[in-house]
Amino acid sequence: MNEPHRQYSALISGATGLVGEQLLTLLLNDPAYAMVIAVVRKPMEMNHAKLQQVVTGFEKLPAAMEGLSADHGYCCLGTTIKTAGSKEKQYIIDHDYVVAFAAGCQKAGVTRFAVVSSIGANAGSSNFYLRTKGEMERDIIKIPFQAIFIMQPSFLLGERKEFRAGEKTAISVMKVLNSFMVGPLKKYRGVRVKAVANVMINQVKSGKQGVTFIRSDVIS
């Protein structure tokens, strides 16, 4: 059951990334949202009547979000070791900034929060990336939102702004493999970023309470 019809306000971080860019566009075009506040490191070259930008260094979160108010929160922050430069810096972005943004959302009145994680996320994993995502999930769940939606997609299918060697080939291979991933393997299917963004919004607007994990087999 969806929440009663009304207009909402949303806070979003990671709005310039692969999923976040799609999510921002969908939120701005969704009549259910009257205002979308994007917390960004640099001003976006975008003008929209519904859009408000808060430009800040993420190391200043959650204090930089003081005075903001919203109903829903969306987090699409994430990076790679190559982009971050080290495991330590990747952890700060994939864990610390995400948790800080979520804390800022809760203080801003957000009751329903969605975040992009990864299939296989596990705080006890020996894999650095999966452990980082798992620890992020663990710490997000501690924040007293009424509802939390943790997206756990497998390979993300979409055009990235930055070039990554071999990624186009990997995407083509994944599209072929998807048809063979049935039953228990469906959770490992590659998913289009727009589908991830759509499901995030639909879940947040639903009447679900508590913590919900959403994998690729549900997204696709």
- DSSP at 146: S
d(CA 209, CA 111): 10
- pLDDT by 10s per residue, the chain, length 220: 555 567 999 999 999 999 999 999 999 999 999 999 999 999 999 999 999 999 999 999 999 999 999 999 999 999 989 999 999 999 999 999 999 999 999 999 999 999 999 999 999 999 999 999 999 999 999 999 999 999 999 878 865 555 444 444 443 444 434 444 445 544 456 688 999 999 999 999 998 999 999 988 878 6
d(CA 195, CA 144): 27
The residues that bridge with 149 in the sheet, in sequence order, are 114, 212
Alpha helix segments (H runs only) across 9-127: 18-29, 81-84, 87-91, 98-107
d(CA 49, CA 159): 27
Structural domains of the chain, ranges and CATH numbers in brackets: 8-219 (3.40.50.720)
Paired tokens of 10: 């949303």
pTM of the model: 0.86
Phi then psi dihedrals of residue 30, to 5 deg: -90, 120
Paired tokens of 21: 């860019």
d(CA 125, CA 218): 23
